Amino acid sequence: MLRHYDSLGLVSPTGRTVGGYREYSDADIRRIFHVESLRSLGLSLREIARVLADRSFTPQALVAGLIQRTEERLVRERELLARLRAVEDAEPGDWRDVLRIVELVRTLGSADAPRRLQAVLNPAENEPVPTELLATAVLGEAEPNMAGALRWALSRAGADGLAALAPGLAAVDVEVRRRAVLAVAEIPGEAATELLTSALDDPDPAVRGPAALAAGSRGVSAAEPILVAMVIAGANDVEAGEVLGALAQDPGSADRVLGALTHALTAHADDAAIRIRLVQALVELPGTHALATLRSLSEDADHSVALVATACTALVAARTTS
């Protein structure tokens, strides 16, 4: 290595002994340690030579460049790891199977959405796409139509699809967790409901919201507070109100939902937009459950709230007498 350093002009000995051996001074030794330290950061020897020779060199620029190169390498290595795992999970019987799976991985990673869609709906040799590959594609797909097709295809795998999606619910990336929830929501059964219920505790509303809509539609009462919060925030408030109405079909939930919506009306007394959304959610409650509350809101001090409440009162009254 020292001979190689010398040939590159990176570290040359100060002198030679009588026997012809290289003789290094204290300064040479320090330079050797500098070279080795920079090598440990991933620099090539030619890059190190330029760094040590350039007195205007700034460590910040060097480190920033190294970070970028390392991140790019990690992305490539993660892609390779995912590809290898996909091949392993497909349990190939021979090299022909391996090549087919590799081609599927490439196609599903293509920038051409129609090509990706064809790989899912009309796979080569009529071999179904392995569940693990579908799940990976679902969690990474941003194009809405393609994402819907992938979720549909994965839903047909049932329990196997759930097992492949479960890690996505714990991903660091919020968008990956959201996609996992949307995919789980399309898979029937108690196991899927349990996963959706666990997602109600997600710290991000972009994940909690879809989980609450899906879990609430399956009768999970734990979704109620999140659904009320969605109505207040105006995030899919119409859908949230409809799911609250479905949950309120259960007598035990009806009083609880009415109480939560009524409390929110009081808590947001100065915000007409929020109160109008809450009034519209009250209409979704079954029977005459919300009728008394709506009648009182028909005389609200805010004219816009009173108008909406009056129309909703008439709607509920007509619905209950028809």
Give the integer Cα–Cα distance in Å for 100 and 105: 9
The pLDDT of residue 156: 79
Nearest CA to 48 out of 62, 28, 65 is that of 62
Tell me the per-residue pLDDT of 157-189, one tens digit each, with 9 for 90 and over: 778 788 888 889 999 999 999 999 999 999 999
Apex 222 CA angle, 217 and 223, nearest 5: 45
Tokens coding 145: 């139509």
The pLDDT of residue 105: 63
CA-CA distances (angstroms) from residue 189 to 131, 148, 178, 244? 18, 19, 19, 21
The pLDDT of residue 136: 81
Tell me the per-residue pLDDT of 202-226, one tens digit each, with 9 for 90 and over: 999 999 999 999 999 999 999 999 9
> Which is more confidently placed, 240 or 161?
240
User: pTM of the full predicted structure?
Assistant: 0.67
Q: How far is CA 64 from the centre of its chain?
A: 27
The pLDDT of residue 51: 78
The pLDDT of residue 204: 96
CA-CA distances (angstroms) from residue 316 to 139, 266, 295? 42, 22, 10
CATH architecture of 1-57: Orthogonal Bundle (1.10)
Task: List residues bridging with 23 in a β-sheet.
Answer: 15
pLDDT averaged over every residue in the chain: 83
- Please state the φ and ψ torsions of residue 312, each to the nearest 5 degrees: -70, -35
The pLDDT of residue 98: 59
Least confident of 75-84, 178-187, 193-202, 234-243: 75-84
Domain boundaries in the chain?
1-57, 219-322
Q: Is the pLDDT confidence value at 126 over 60?
A: no
The pLDDT of residue 317: 86
Q: At what angle do helices 272-282 and 303-321 cross, to 10 degrees?
A: 0
Q: Is the pLDDT confidence value at 279 over 90?
A: yes
Q: Could you tell me what percent of the chain has a pLDDT over 90?
A: 43
